[in-house]
Each structure stands twice: as structure tokens, then as C-alpha cells.
């Protein structure tokens, strides 16, 4: 079992100015493709599940898949709940073995967002589960939640600083101009805002709405403090296109395992490409530091200790 939370992987990424890819998986095949991709290039990786994917498969099913796929993995893998607005589902995922959760109360007023985020932290942290929260509203469509671009508002640096001082997060997702889904026209990313929020919060930032951004934009955002980059829409495209392309090329075959293999290969290739772009290839530290069973993370950071094989924050 090699599931980790995101805490240490993101601290390391921020320090070394690369980003860990967070890929929204859809089923066993895509989950396995993302993990095998990370193993092939020796990268830490985050496999994300949206509430809708969980609703479809069920918590236990996804958790069993993750345990099975990662059992002999030699890279750190986190299983993360993406954009969740419901406290009961967050609790269910934590109980089922998720190592990380995102509480998204960004559509609520600041105080309400903060208080729900704190509530999640109180539940998650004692169990070694890392927490991400969002401020401002990221545009586009995620699951069935739609934010019109002209309504999307960006995260204010002062409020970001206050939010992160009040809530001890592992990862912060400020709205900085990216959008979920497919971009209509040129994305307008507020790079200065990313830099300022990164400095003032001193937290690894999550970049949402990654699909469709140019390589240059990714690299610049990562250099300014984005240590987690979410890729969802591209995986959906790879998932469906690979199936359709294979079918069109071999219409008379009707061999599902070959189609599934084509899908696996396409998703794995897409994930490897992004991992390399984000600079996390070769950054898996498991072999180096976890080779002995008496590894103690507090040797390197006084703020963390191991609990049930996970990094747990002890506070200042």
C-alpha cells in the first residue's frame, strides 16, 4: 500500500519549483493508466475523483481499486476528492481511505467558506488526510456546477492571506483566471496574482482548469508557486477519443480488451506528457527515503510525523 496524502509531495514540489499532476480518473482503467504513467517516469502523482464519479462507482469500489493498483507502487500516490461541497461525502471518503480532500465552499460568503473549511480540517487532519480549499470562483463547468465566465471572480490576495492564516491547509486553490472545461478564446491568467498569493500564503497553490493552457502558461504558473496542476477535461477526451478511434480503425473486430488497451495507452501517454512538462518526472522520493522502515519525516521537518504511514501535521 503506497497511498500518501498530498502534504509532503506538494511541499517538496513548491520548494523545488515543479508541480505534481492531479489527474481526474473515471474508472479502473484510467486510474491504472495514471498510476502506471507516474511509475514509468518516477513521479509523485495525485489521482482525483469528482463527486459524480464517486456517485457512479461508490466510495468502496474506488478505494479498493486504488489500494490494488498502488499496492506495489514505488512512487507516492495520493487519492484526492476533487471539488466537494458536501460534508457527508467528505467524511465518507475519509472513512473509505481517501488520503486527501478538497472542500469547495467557494460559492459561499468568505466566513462561511472559512468555517466549513476549518470543520473539514478538524476531521481530516487527525486521520492524516490533507486538505485543499478554494477562494474566489473558478469559471467554466465542473461536474454539473457551472460558473459563467463573466461571473467568475478572482481571489483577493488580502482575503487569501487571511483565509490561509486562519485555516491550516495543505494546498490552496485561488481563482486566478483559469476555467474548467474547454476554453472559449484565450485564457486570461492573472500571473501577478498567482505570485502575490503564493508569497503571502506561503502554501502550495493548485492550478485548476489545466486543460487547454499552453506549455508556456503552465511553466510560468509553476514557477510562480503552483505546485499542483489539475488535468480533467483532457483525460475525458483521451478516454472517449481513444475508444472511438480504435473502433473506427477496426470496425469488424469487436474485441473490447483491445479497445480498453488502446484507451489505457492513450491516457498513459497523455499523463506522462503532462508529468514531464510539470517537471515532476524523476521526483519520486520513495525509494530514496522510504527504503528503510524506520524512516521518520520529522528528521527533515519538525512539523510532521508519520501516522498510519501518512504525514500528519503537528502544527507550529
Catalytic residues: 82
State the pairing for strand pair 205-207/226-231: parallel
At its nearest, how many Å lie between Zn ion and the CB of residue 138?
A: 6
For residue 191, the minimal CB distance to Zn ion (Å) is 19
Give 153 or 243: the residue with its C-beta nearer to Zn ion.
Answer: 153
Pairing of strands 304-307, 310-313: antiparallel
Considering the complex, state which of residue 32 and residue 208 has its C-beta at the smaller distance from Zn ion: 208
Minimum Å gap between C-beta 77 and Zn ion is 19
Nearest to 131 by CA among 62, 203, 65, 61: 203
Nearer to Zn ion, 26 or 262 (CB): 26
Report in angstroms how near the CB of residue 178 gets to Zn ion at its nearest: 8
Rounded least distance, CB 258 to Zn ion, Å: 33
Beta carbon nearer to Zn ion, 14 or 80: 80
In angstroms, rounded to a whole number, what is the distance separating the alpha carbons of residues 197 and 155? Answer: 9
- Binding residues for Zn ion, rule: CB under 5 A, are 208
Task: Tell me which residue has cell 489500494.
Answer: 67
Backbone dihedral angles phi then psi of residue 93, each to the nearest 5 degrees: -65, -45
Residue 124 · residue 94 · CB < 8 Å = yes
Closest residue by beta carbon to Zn ion: 208
Output 39 or 104, the one with its CB closest to Zn ion.
104
Give 59-62 contacts, CB < 8 A, sequence gap 24+.
59/92, 59/93, 59/96, 60/96, 62/31, 62/96
Q: For residue 26, give Cα distances in angstroms to 12, 52, 192, 267, 285.
A: 28, 10, 34, 11, 27
Amino acid at each position: 500500500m503506497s497511498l500518501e496524502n498530498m502534504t509532503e509531495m506538494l511541499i517538496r514540489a513548491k520548494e523545488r519549483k515543479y508541480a505534481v499532476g492531479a489527474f481526474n480518473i473515471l474508472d479502473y482503467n484510467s486510474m491504472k493508466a495514471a498510476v502506471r504513467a507516474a511509475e514509468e517516469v518516477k513521479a509523485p502523482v495525485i489521482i482525483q475523483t469528482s463527486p459524480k464519479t464517486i456517485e457512479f462507482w461508490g466510495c468502496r469500489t474506488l478505494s479498493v481499486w486504488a489500494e490494488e493498483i498502488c499496492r506495489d507502487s514505488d512512487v507516492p500516490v495520493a487519492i484526492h476528492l476533487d471539488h466537494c461541497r458536501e460534508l457527508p461525502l467528505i467524511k465518507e471518503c475519509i472513512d473509505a481511505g481517501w488520503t486527501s480532500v478538497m472542500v469547495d465552499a467557494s460559492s459561499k460568503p468568505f466566513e462561511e467558506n472559512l468555517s466549513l473549511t476549518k470543520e473539514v480540517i478538524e476531521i481530516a487532519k487527525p486521520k492524516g488526510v490533507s486538505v485543499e480549499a478554494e477562494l474566489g470562483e473558478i469559471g467554466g463547468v465542473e461536474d454539473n456546477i457551472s460558473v459563467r465566465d463573466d461571473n467568475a471572480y478572482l481571489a483577493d490576495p488580502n482575503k487569501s492571506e487571511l483565509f490561509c492564516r486562519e485555516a491550516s491547509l495543505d494546498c490552496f486553490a485561488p481563482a486566478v483566471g483559469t476555467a474548467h472545461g474547454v476554453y472559449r478564446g484565450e485564457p486570461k491568467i492573472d500571473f501577478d496574482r498567482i505570485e502575490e498569493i503564493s508569497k503571502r500564503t506561503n502554501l502550495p497553490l493548485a492550478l485548476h482548469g489545466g486543460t487547454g493552457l499552453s506549455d508556456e502558461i503552465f511553466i510560468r504558473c509553476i514557477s510562480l508557486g503552483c505546485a499542483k496542476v489539475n488535468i480533467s477535461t483532457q483525460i475525458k477526451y483521451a478516454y472517449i477519443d481513444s475508444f472511438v478511434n480504435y473502433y473506427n480503425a477496426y470496425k469488424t473486430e469487436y474485441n473490447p480488451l483491445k479497445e480498453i488497451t488502446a484507451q489505457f495507452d492513450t491516457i498513459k501517454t497523455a499523463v506522462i506528457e503532462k508529468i514531464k512538462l510539470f517537471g515532476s518526472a524523476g521526483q519520486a522520493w520513495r525509494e530514496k527515503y522510504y527504503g528503510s522502515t524506520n524512516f521518520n519525516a520529522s528528521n527533515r521537518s519538525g512539523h510532521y510525523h508519520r501516522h498510519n504511514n501518512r504525514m500528519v501535521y503537528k502544527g507550529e
